[in-house]
Amino acid sequence: MRKLEVDKILEKNGWSKNKIVGILQDIQDSYSYLPEDILIYISEKLNIPLSQIYSISTFYRAFSLKPKGKYRIKVCLGTACHVRGGYMIAEFLKNKFGILPGETTEDGLFSFDTVNCLGACAIGPIVVINEKYYGQMDVRKTEKIIKGLENEKNKQF
Amino acid sequence: MKSVEIIIDGIKKIVPKRITILKIAQDVGIEIPTLCYHSAIEPYGACRLCIVEIERNGRKRYVTACNFPVEDEIKIETNNENVVKIRKLILELLIAKVGYKGKVKEYAEKYEVEPRFGIGNDDCILCGLCVNVCKEIIGVSAISFSQRGIERKVSSPFEKEPTNCIGCGACSFVCPVDAIKVEDIKNERIIKKINAKLELEKCKICQKPFIPKKLIEYIKNKLGANVLLDIFLICNECKGKNYVDKLLPFSLTGGKK
Ligand code: SF4
Ligand code: FES
Ligand code: FES
């Protein structure tokens, strides 16, 4: 059951109120989002008002209250990546998926976010898909990778 | 406690260390405008309207009076030209956000502020008083700020009915721009801004629903009582009438209840 998994995360963080951000990070990693019922459970277990957990959950970009896609695409729009055409990649993805940054496609396959500088400006524009970094990207290359991911999915089913 | 000598608007004064500039001003009778400050709540420093100029070793700085603790000998100007200029700018920005509402309107008139950046129509200036009164004084924390940047707002968790709200209305009471409306409709108290909906208990005398059941439970808990004195269970109107009956030999209400 879920509770056991969450308890493990709480245990790892010493059941400590002060570690709430770390706890939420772990939840985000395990579930790809912060499920409401889990936030309520944590609030009760650690005796933190739900309003405060909600406040933190909506403050940081790293957290999401809605499930993220199987492939989580991040496009860097930091200054260096932006001037080299990162924004064109972002535009392309918006149109291709018909979603805005922060949203997920209906089939749950892709979600897309923009970020501000990943600290790898020299090889920008950067696109990150799940944990993998792609440098010197443009629209064409992005399109190709996404095609590949879509095909992979078709193969599976 | 250690003390220091300061000068505030030309008045010399010896004050205890760590007292805030706002408290000194209040003692001396100097008025500093505030929006996010309430004497019962920890200063939050959100609105910046209480800005004043301080001078230390010939260097000038602008600080918020409500949460600036005095540590050493400083000269404070609470209302000079520069201070007024900054205050006006802050008011212009507030008007751009919420327009002429509540205390913003009062101060805008007092400082003769024109709407330089337009007149907004948001309901809230994000002063934090409601959030902090609920947390510090009531001890419930039913609401908080959510989101950030231009999307920052006051809300209940998940914008749903806050399960721990007791419907006390403290948030509405402290709001400087009247953003939080409390409405009693039939046997329900509705606080729309924070999605709260609470069942009301009837007045023991006139039977009009007037106090949230959850608030009664909260008071019982605070007092450690099983039952409450009637004074909590009788509405204000009936309390008034009852006192009149008791205090005057010839009752103005004719003794009717
Ligand atoms: S609703 Fe009122 S009290 Fe609460 S933050 Fe907004 S302006 Fe302040
Ligand atoms: S701007 Fe994209 S990595 Fe720095
Ligand atoms: S009253 Fe001091 S910052 Fe708002």
Q: What is the CATH number of the domain that holds A89?
A: 3.40.30.10
A26 and A75 in one domain? no
Are A15 and A45 within one domain?
Answer: yes
Q: 3-state DSSP call for residue A53?
A: helix
The token pair at B25 is 């001003």
Select from A51, A65, A66 the residue whose CB has the most chain B CBs within 10 Å, as the one to mutate to test that interface. Answer: A51
Pocket test for ligand 1, best of B37, B130, B195 (most atoms within 8 A of CB): B130
- Among the residue ranges A17-26, A39-48, A75-84, A146-155, the one predicted with the least confidence is A146-155
* pLDDT at B239 (0 to 100): 85
Q: Above pLDDT 90, what percent of chain B? A: 88
Does A92 lie in the same domain as A30? no
Residue A106 lies in a domain: yes
The b-or-e profile of B152-191 (16+ CB within 10 A means b, else e) is ebbbbbbeeebebbbbbbbbbebbbbebbebebeeeebbb
Do the domain assignments include residue A64?
A: no
Last residue of a domain, one of A13, A37, A59: A59
Q: Is A102 in the same domain as A49?
A: no
Measure the CA–CA gap between B169 and B191, rounded to whole angstroms. Answer: 8
- Chain A residue at shortest CA distance from B146: A55
Residue A37 and residue A88 share a domain: no
- Check if B50 contacts A (Cβ < 8 Å): no
How many domains in chain A?
Answer: 2
Mean of pLDDT values over A45-68? 94
User: Does some domain include residue A66?
Assistant: no
pLDDT band at B242 (very low <50, low <70, confident <90, very high): confident
A52 & A76 share domain:
no
Residues 201-220 of B with CB under 8 A from A: none
Residue A139 lies in a domain: yes
pLDDT at position B202 over 70: yes
Return the pLDDT at B131: 98
One domain, residues A15 and A50:
yes
Residues A46 and A106 in one domain: no
pLDDT digits (tens, 9 = 90+) for B105-135: 999 999 999 999 999 999 999 999 999 999 9
Q: In the predicted model, what is the mean pLDDT of residues A125-154?
A: 92
pTM surpassing 0.95? no
Question: What domains can you pick out in chain B, each with its CATH number?
Answer: 3-79 (3.10.20.740), 129-245 (no CATH)
Q: Is B74 in the pocket of ligand 1 (CB under 6 A)?
A: no
Helix (H) or strand (E) holding B61: strand B59-64
Question: Does residue A65 fall inside a structural domain?
Answer: no
Q: A150 and A76, same structural domain?
A: yes
Note down the domain range covering A114. 71-156
Average pLDDT value over all residues in chain A: 92
pLDDT at residue B56, rounded to an integer: 95
Please compute the mean of the pLDDT values over residues B6-15 and round it to a whole number. 97
- Asked whether the predicted pLDDT for residue B249 surpasses 70, the reply is no
pLDDT score at B253:
46
A141 and A83 belong to one structural domain: yes
Whether A48 contacts A10, CB under 8 Å? no
Euclidean distance between CA atoms A57 and B147, whole angstroms: 8
> With 60 as the cut, is the pLDDT of residue A157 above it?
no
My answer on whether A53 and A78 are in the same domain is no
The secondary structure of residue A124, as a DSSP letter, is P
